[in-house]
Amino acid sequence: MALALAVALPASVTAAPATDYASALVPALGAYLGAYIQLDPVAKGDLKAFEDLTGRRHAVYLRYVGYGEPFPYRWVQEVVARGALPQIAWEPNNGLNEVHDDAYLRGWAEAAAHSGTPILLRYASEMNGDWMPYSGNPDEYIRKWKLVTTVMREVAPNVIMIWCPFGLPRSTIPLYYPGDDFVDWVGINIYAVVYNNGDPGQPATESQFDQLKFVYDLYADRKPIAICEYAATHYCVAAKQQVREFAVRSMKELYAALPTRFPRVVLISWFSVNAASDRLANNEYAVTTDPLVLATYRELIASPYFLSAPVRRPPTAPGVPPDTAEDPPVIAPPIAAPPAPDQLVVPEHPFPLEGQAVPGPREMGVSLYGASPRAAAGKVTLAATLGSELKVDTVTFYLDGRIHCITNFKPYTWNWKIQEEPGEHVIKVVATAPNGVEVATAEVSVIVADSS
């Protein structure tokens, strides 16, 4: 397409103040029940099925999202509709060099802001383990953590940043801590296993209590502590046998210890995966596959200390733990579900880009909002206009050949914070079906005008 629009370079941007969701969601007494069930062999990601099996609603559900992938809007809606909070493990699996203050990061943050719910964001966790591609350079890790946190607080103050090391190795954990000002909650991932690394020659000598106590003693005086992943193995590949008694003993010890020994733990989330058969690890962790383990879990979480819904409290002063002595948890009304994708509204007064006719049933067009044919300042919104017969899962916006936004909720838009050099730039928009097949594309040229 030929010349489309002249836009001016942006003025300075002022960051919005953060909202203190982090302290408002800390229960006065008790710990949220959480779970990861996307790979559970029985529930298979079905929230209701998992809760029917375990006998309790859960307050938090976990999902993994690779850095570069869209914000999981539909899954978040499903979790919120169930009355729970989403925990997202957002992982830069190609390394920290892909993390920049760019349109992908800001577009992802804007999608999180649109979700209509607090988001527990566990960014780049287990950084102390050499198995993670973003491990090995604490200084660079801290720089990128601070960048992501700064963008979230500016764009999506509903996001709670959870810094979450693995329980081992302990010695490197403090090296990666970004500082109190850039962390909302401190997390930890702990697994009770018989052998480390699936090796009979490496019996597990550091207990689950040792791992939790190390992080708890470092940070619990000023930060809520979240056990973002926990499981106890009931089948050990290294031993080639069932170890359900070990699992039952381990889980009973930990869940019973939280109210007295670790009262600042605000979340414990079971990792319900058969990691042995899925070849993710050397242990069976699924809580639903062994009758004794499931019965024990049901018994433990029946305690009212474990909370099945988010609570709301007035925020405390920064760094001051909530008073848990006499203030019982206050169960709030369910968090309002976010608007359905087709209820979200883009800004008014669209300016159709030159040459873009109304798309046919299987075609896609592009419109621009917040600008005139002559000039626009700061940020403008590009929207994909989809034909009535297109079945679309995600829409990707490219600027000069580079991905700048991936979105999977309607209306499919990109808020373009114009930082390009004056001159012509090419915007390409690609719509992808749920099966990953590209179903429509559109391309436009935009002139960025010199503001002088």
Q: Residue 80 sits in a domain of what CATH number?
A: 3.20.20.80
Q: With cut-offs at 50, 70 and 90, classify the pLDDT of residue 279.
A: low
Task: Please say if the pLDDT value at position 422 is more than 60.
Answer: yes
Q: CA of 326: how far to CAs of 29, 32, 257, 342, in Å?
A: 9, 19, 19, 45
Do 303 and 363 share a structural domain? no
Q: Which of 439, 290, 420 is nearest to 359 (CA)?
A: 439
User: Per the domain annotation, does 160 fall within a domain?
Assistant: yes
Do 217 and 354 share a structural domain? no
Do 354 and 297 share a structural domain? no
CATH assignment at residue 387? 2.60.40.10
β-pairing, 402-407 vs 394-399, is antiparallel
Average pLDDT over residues 379-400: 80
User: Per the domain annotation, does 433 fall within a domain?
Assistant: yes
- Spatial contact of 87 and 60, defined as CB atoms under 8 Å apart: yes
Do 261 and 384 share a structural domain? no
Q: CA of 231: how far to CAs of 40, 64, 137, in Å?
A: 13, 17, 29
Q: CA of 32: how far to CAs of 57, 197, 254, 260, in Å?
A: 10, 29, 14, 16
In three-state secondary structure terms, 221 is coil
In angstroms, the CA 298 to CA 318 distance is 36
The continuous run of DSSP H or E covering 231 comes out as strand 225-232
Beta strands per DSSP E along 6-54: 6-8, 31-36
Task: Please say if the pLDDT value at position 181 is more than 80.
Answer: yes
β-pairing, 423-432 vs 394-399, is antiparallel
User: Per the domain annotation, does 296 fall within a domain?
Assistant: yes
The arrangement of strands across the sheet holding 350-352 comes to 350-352, 364-369, 379-386, 413-417
The arrangement of strands across the sheet holding 235-236 comes to 241-242, 235-236, 283-284
Q: What is the pLDDT of residue 275?
A: 75
The residue assigned the tokens 């915007």 is: 427
User: Per the domain annotation, does 301 fall within a domain?
Assistant: yes
User: Per the domain annotation, does 329 fall within a domain?
Assistant: no
Token pair of 229 as six digits: 């992943």
In angstroms, the CA 449 to CA 251 distance is 63
In angstroms, the CA 134 to CA 9 distance is 34
Q: What is the pLDDT of residue 2?
A: 33
Task: Please say if the pLDDT value at position 415 is more than 70.
Answer: yes
Where does residue 245 rank: exposed (0-12), middle (13-18), buried (19+ CB within 10 A)?
exposed
Q: What is the pLDDT of residue 226?
A: 98
Is the pTM of the predicted complex or chain greater than 0.75? no
**Percent of the chain scoring above 90 in pLDDT:** 53
Q: What is the pLDDT of residue 378?
A: 56
- Spatial contact of 419 and 397, defined as CB atoms under 8 Å apart: no
Q: What angle do CA 445, 381, 363 make, to 5 degrees?
A: 60
User: Per the domain annotation, does 332 fall within a domain?
Assistant: no
Do 204 and 79 share a structural domain? yes
**Percent of the chain scoring above 70 in pLDDT:** 77
Q: What is the pLDDT of residue 278?
A: 56
Q: What is the pLDDT of residue 254?
A: 96
Do 126 and 218 share a structural domain? yes
Longest C-alpha distance within the chain, in Å? 74
- Spatial contact of 444 and 4, defined as CB atoms under 8 Å apart: yes
Do 127 and 271 share a structural domain? yes
In angstroms, the CA 332 to CA 26 distance is 12
- Spatial contact of 26 and 267, defined as CB atoms under 8 Å apart: no
β-pairing, 423-432 vs 85-91, is unpaired
* Residue numbers of the domain that contains 92: 26-307
Do 360 and 278 share a structural domain? no
Do 215 and 104 share a structural domain? yes
In single-letter form, the type of residue at position 43 comes to A
Dihedral pair phi/psi, residue 128, rounded to 5°: -80, -5
Q: Where do runs of H (alpha helix) occur along 101-177? A: 103-114, 138-155
Q: What is the pLDDT of residue 140?
A: 97
- Spatial contact of 29 and 260, defined as CB atoms under 8 Å apart: no
Do 413 and 301 share a structural domain? no
Average pLDDT over residues 387-407: 79
User: Per the domain annotation, does 319 fall within a domain?
Assistant: no
HSE of 274, CA atoms in CB hemisphere, 13 A: 12
Do 171 and 39 share a structural domain? yes
Do 223 and 115 share a structural domain? yes
In angstroms, the CA 52 to CA 38 distance is 16
In angstroms, the CA 159 to CA 141 distance is 19
User: Per the domain annotation, does 167 fall within a domain?
Assistant: yes
Mean pLDDT for all residues in the chain? 80
In angstroms, the CA 295 to CA 64 distance is 27
Q: Which of 307, 338, 363 is the last residue of a domain?
A: 307
In three-state secondary structure terms, 342 is helix
Instruction: Give 204-252 pLDDT, tens digit per residue.
Output: 667 899 999 999 999 999 999 999 999 999 988 777 888 999 999 999 9
Instruction: Give 70-101 pLDDT, tens digit per residue.
Output: 999 889 999 999 999 999 999 999 999 999 99
Average pLDDT over residues 341-363: 47
Q: How many domains does the chain have?
A: 2
Q: What angle do CA 33, 337, 56 make, to 5 degrees?
A: 25
The continuous run of DSSP H or E covering 300 comes out as helix 291-301
